Amino acid sequence: MIPTDTIDKLATCFASLSELGAQLTESDWKTPTDCPGWTVQDNLSHLVGIERVLNGLPGTSHRAPASGHVKNPIGEANENEIDSRRGLSGAQVLAEWNEIASARLSTLRNADEAYFAVEAMTPTGPGTVADFLHIRVLDCWVHEQDMRRAVGKPGHLSGPAAEHTIDRLIRTIPIVVGKRAGTPDGASVVIDITGGVQRHIVCTVTGGRAAVTDVEPEAPVARLTMDVETFLILATGRRAPETMLASVELAGDITLGNKIVASLNMMI
Bridge partners of residue 199, in order along the sequence: 193
Over the stretch 68-83, which tens digit does the pLDDT of each residue have? Answer: 787 777 778 889 999 9
C-alpha to C-alpha distance for 201 and 189, rounded to whole angstroms: 8
Would the pTM of this model clear 0.85, i.e. be above it? yes
- Region of 165 (left: φ > 0; alpha: ψ -120 to 50; beta: rest) is alpha
Provide mean pLDDT across the span 13-32.
Answer: 98
Is pLDDT of 226 > 70? Answer: yes
The pLDDT score that the predictor gives to residue 268 is 58
For each of the domains in the chain, give its residue range(s) and CATH number, in order of start. 4-156 (1.20.120.450), 170-262 (3.30.1050.10)
**Amino acid at position 59, single letter:** G
79 within 8 A of 45, measured Cβ to Cβ: no
The pLDDT score that the predictor gives to residue 64 is 80
The pLDDT score that the predictor gives to residue 210 is 97
The pLDDT score that the predictor gives to residue 11 is 98
Locate the DSSP E strands across the chain.
119-122, 125-128, 188-194, 199-206, 209-213, 222-227, 249-252
Bridge partners of residue 125, in order along the sequence: 122
Is pLDDT of 192 > 80? Answer: yes
Over the stretch 91-112, which tens digit does the pLDDT of each residue have? Answer: 999 999 999 999 999 999 999 9
